[in-house]
Amino acid sequence: MTASNTQRIFVKPDDTAIIQCPECHLAKTISVGEFRSSRHSIKVRCTCGHSYPVDLDFRRSYRKKTSLAGLYETHTKELDDKHWKKTRLTGVYTIQHPASGDGHMQVTNLSTGGLQFITSSKHTIEVGQQVRVSFTLDDRKQTEIIIIVTIQSVNGSVIGCQFVGNEPLEQALRFYLFP
In whole angstroms, give the CA distance from residue 169 to residue 113.
9
Residue 68 within any structural domain of the chain: yes
Per-residue confidence of the chain (179 residues) as pLDDT tens digits? 445 577 878 777 788 888 889 899 898 888 888 887 776 788 889 999 999 998 887 766 667 889 999 999 986 554 444 455 566 667 666 555 444 578 899 999 998 888 999 998 888 888 889 999 999 999 888 989 888 899 989 999 999 998 886 555 677 777 887 76
Query: Does some domain include residue 89?
Result: no
Residues 70 and 151 in one domain: yes
- Predicted confidence at residue 175, as pLDDT, reads 81
Contact between residue 159 and residue 129 where contact means Cβ atoms under 8 Å apart: no
What is the 3-state secondary structure of 31-94? Answer: ECHHHCCCCCEEEEECCCCCEEEEEEECCCCCCEEEEEEEEEEEECCCCCHHHCCCCCCCCCCC
9 part of a folded domain = yes
What's the pLDDT score for residue 86?
60
Please tell me the total count of domains within the chain. Answer: 2
Pairing verdict, β 7-10 and 51-57? parallel
Same domain, 148 and 71: yes
Full domain range(s) for residue 33: 3-57
- For residue 118, what are the β-bridge partners? 106, 158
CATH of the domain at 42: 3.10.660
- Say if residue 110 is in the same domain as residue 52: no
